[in-house]
């Protein structure tokens, strides 16, 4: 091993200690940390695979495999002939990755939102479990309506750890919350897990959705995971099913 190679290996060891996890996963985690720390902001181009390999002290093939995983997670985007870029939380990306409700007409569109209320609160058992918090920890609750083609079709409740989003309850909240989380609080959502269930509309959601109490709704219980692998948002979406359907492309 020459001196230059030894220096690279030593630097890589300092950044990502060896363990039993595959080397490409260690490289992936090292890149994620640097993105989260702001070294490469959303929309920024990453260095070339060869430059990253030299920087991390691994092979170019290992870096390529790490980038493959980040691309599958929608953390980065590759543009033919231009390079690899940190993904943005723009509406097109969210529509593709996180929003799965499609009008029966088949035309996908980004929903509009109307905030009903925002308040700081203590986490109950359900919110604490979803967000990995202790019972009674401070959270922020958001209640809003979402519309497609001018028709209210989703009643939504959101819970956030207040430690990640200090004073967010005092802000005017935009339609695209995930972009706000990223731009103002440095919290980037990279994936989510969802549970679907048929439920009956309660009085409050029925009122806002223009339905009779007891009408059928689709409940989407989603926990969104930030780049550090921890839960950062829990939302419960109660959705009309008379003009919408849930779409998932299984590959």
**When comparing pLDDT for 106 and 97, which is higher?**
106
Q: Do 212 and 109 lie in a common domain?
A: yes
Query: Do residues 46 and 112 both lie within one domain?
Result: no
Do residues 105 and 33 both lie within one domain?
Answer: no
- b/e map of 90-102 (b: 16 or more CB within 10 Å)? ebebbeebbbbbe
Strands (E), 95-137: 101-103, 112-122
Band of residue 90 on the pLDDT scale cut at 50, 70, 90: low
Mean pLDDT of 222-240: 92
Residue 193's Cβ-count burial label (10 Å; 0-12, 13-18, 19+) is exposed
Question: Vertex 9, ends 227 and 13: CA angle to 5°?
Answer: 45
Q: Do 95 and 75 fall within a single domain? A: no
Tell me if residue 52 falls in helix, strand or coil. Answer: helix
Neighbours of 140 (CB within 10 A): 20
Contact predicate 159/234, CB 8 Å: yes
Domain contains 38? yes
Is this model's pTM higher than 0.85 or not? no
Q: Assign residue 19 the CATH number of its domain.
A: 1.10.10.10
How many domains in the chain?
2
Q: For residue 75, what are the domain limits?
A: 3-86
Is pLDDT above 70 for 20? no
Mean pLDDT score, 153-178: 94
10 and 121 in one domain?
no
Last residue of a domain, one of 86, 105, 135: 86
Assess whether 96 and 81 both reside in one domain.
no
Note whether 72 and 97 are same-domain residues: no
Residues 82, 103: one domain?
no
In a domain, 251, yes or no: no
pLDDT digits (tens, 9 = 90+) for 160-171: 999 999 999 999
């Amino acid at each position: 091993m020459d001196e230059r190679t030894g220096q690279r290996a030593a630097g890589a060891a300092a950044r990502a200690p060896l363990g039993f996890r595959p080397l490409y996963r260690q490289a992936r985690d090292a890149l994620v940390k640097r993105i989260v720390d702001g070294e490469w902001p959303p929309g920024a181009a990453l260095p070339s695979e060869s430059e990253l390999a030299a920087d991390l002290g691994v092979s170019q093939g290992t870096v390529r495999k790490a980038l493959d995983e980040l691309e599958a997670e929608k953390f980065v985007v590759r543009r033919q002939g231009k390079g690899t870029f940190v993904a943005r939380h723009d509406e097109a990306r969210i529509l593709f990755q996180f929003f799965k409700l499609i009008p029966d007409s088949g035309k996908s569109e980004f929903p509009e939102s109307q905030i009903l209320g925002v308040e700081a609160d203590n986490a109950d058992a359900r919110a604490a479990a979803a967000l990995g918090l202790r019972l009674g920890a401070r959270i922020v609750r958001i209640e809003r309506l979402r519309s497609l083609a001018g028709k209210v079709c989703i009643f939504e409740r959101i819970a956030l750890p207040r430690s990640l989003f200090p004073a967010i309850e005092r802000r005017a909240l935009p339609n695209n919350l995930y972009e706000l989380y990223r731009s103002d609080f440095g919290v980037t959502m990279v994936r989510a897990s969802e549970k679907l269930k048929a439920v009956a509309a309660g009085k409050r959601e029925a009122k806002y959705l223009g339905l009779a109490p007891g009408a059928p709704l689709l409940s989407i219980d989603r926990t969104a995971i930030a780049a550090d692998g921890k839960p950062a948002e829990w939302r419960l979406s109660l959705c009309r099913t008379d003009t919408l359907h849930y779409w998932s492309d299984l590959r």
